[in-house]
Structure 1
Amino acid sequence: MLPRRYLTTLALFALGAIAVPAHAATIQIVMENLVVSPAEASAKVGDTVEWVNKDILAHTATAKNGDFDVTIAPKQTIKSVLTKAGTVDYYCRFHPNMKAVLKIAP
C-alpha cells in the first residue's frame, strides 16, 4: 500500500493542481549597422533577452515606458530577464533612429 502523502501528491498532479514550470526561452536581438533586428519580437515574462551589439559603437535598449534601459558596449552581449508583460517600444538613446518593439506575454 502506498503512503497517503504519495497518493495525495499523485492525485494533485493528475488533476493539474501542481504546476510544472515552463522552460523559459532566450530571445536574441541584434544591433548591427545601426539597425535593430528583429524590429518586432515576441517573448513571455521569464524569458531572457540576449542583446547582441555587433557594431563598433555602443548602443542602448531603452524602453519608452521606463521598463528597461540596457547599455551594450561595442561587440558585446548583455542578457536580461523579462519581468513584466506588455508591448514595449524601445530605442537606442545614442542613435534614436534605432527603434523596435518587444511584445511580452504573461
Structure 2
Amino acid sequence: MGCAGSSQAKADGSAKKIRKPKPWKHPQPITKSQLLQMREEFWDTSPHYGGRKEIWDALQAAAEAELSLAQAIVDSAGVIIQNADLTVCYDERGAKYELPKYVLSEPTNLIRET
C-alpha cells in the first residue's frame, strides 16, 4: 500500500490535471519587463527554497509551457500536484514546492511600457 502520492494512486486516475491559474492582480500595476525580472529572480533563487534542483527545473519548464506539455512535464518528473494551478506541488520524497502566481501567468493589471 503506497502513500496518496504514489504512482499506484496516479494510475487509478486520482492525479490532478493542471489548469490555468485564476486571474489575479499585482499589488501595483507592473510592466512586462518588471514581470519578467521578477520571474527570473524567482527561478534563479528557487533551489534555495529547498527541494531538488531537477524538480525546480521541471516546474519552470512546466510553468513556461502550454497546458498539455506542462502536464507531461510534471507527470514525467514525478511531481505531485496539490493545487491544479501548480502553486503548490510536492516531489515523490515529500518536499514541498510553492510557486507564486507571477511565474505562472500575467496579472490583470499589466501595463504597457512607455
TM > 0.5 fold call:
no
Structure with more of its chain in helix, by fraction = 2
**Which protein shows a greater Rg?**
1
Structure with more of its chain in strand, by fraction = 1
TM-score (norm. length: structure 1): 0.29
